[in-house]
């Protein structure tokens, strides 16, 4: 583990990391989130009067990834090459996965995490009328490539 957090200066003040001297490299990140739903809500998903919650969640996740720098104060705005968000019903709920790609000076982990977090919130928003006990669980980085520290893959 690194000895010092990168978003703080020597005096301990929060700062945006200067990436102006870093070369653009191909970078990817994938993330996962899980929305726990009751069996009744899972059964009702295809009949939601607001539209298909899983498709709306996918679109919300894509839009959110594009706006990550507006939401996370020290996050750099990046030109994203590709964003993919998948949503599928699984036992106990909905699994959301994202994959984000860029050619840039810094990684896209925050964009991948933002995509699944907002997609999960969208599933909640579109199903909350049926059940307020829905939970969003396990928002986590699954994998990243590129950058000075090299690849990362979550052990499952």
Residues marked active site are found at 125
Residue 131 · residue 38 · CB < 8 Å: yes
3 state DSSP class of 17: coil
User: What is the spatial distance between Cα 50 and Cα 46, in angstroms, rounded to a whole number?
Assistant: 10
In which order are the strands placed within the sheet that holds 93-104?
80-90, 93-104, 25-36, 135-145, 152-153
User: What is the spatial distance between Cα 140 and Cα 96, in angstroms, rounded to a whole number?
Assistant: 11
User: What is the spatial distance between Cα 3 and Cα 21, in angstroms, rounded to a whole number?
Assistant: 22
């Amino acid at each position: 583990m690194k000895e010092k957090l990168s978003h703080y200066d020597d005096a301990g003040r929060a700062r945006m990391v200067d990436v102006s001297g870093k070369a653009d490299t191909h970078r990817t990140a994938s993330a996962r989130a899980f929305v726990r739903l009751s069996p009744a809500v899972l059964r009702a998903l295809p009949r939601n009067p607001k539209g298909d919650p899983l498709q709306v969640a996918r679109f919300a996740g894509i839009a959110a990834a594009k706006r990550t720098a507006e939401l996370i104060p020290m996050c750099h705005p990046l030109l994203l090459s590709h964003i993919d968000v998948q949503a599928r019903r699984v036992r106990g709920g909905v699994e959301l996965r994202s994959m984000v790609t860029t050619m840039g000076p810094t990684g896209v982990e925050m964009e991948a995490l933002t995509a699944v977090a907002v997609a999960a919130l969208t599933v909640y928003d579109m199903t909350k009328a049926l059940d307020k006990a829905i939970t969003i669980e396990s928002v986590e980085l699954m994998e990243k490539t590129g950058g000075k520290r090299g690849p990362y893959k979550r052990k499952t």
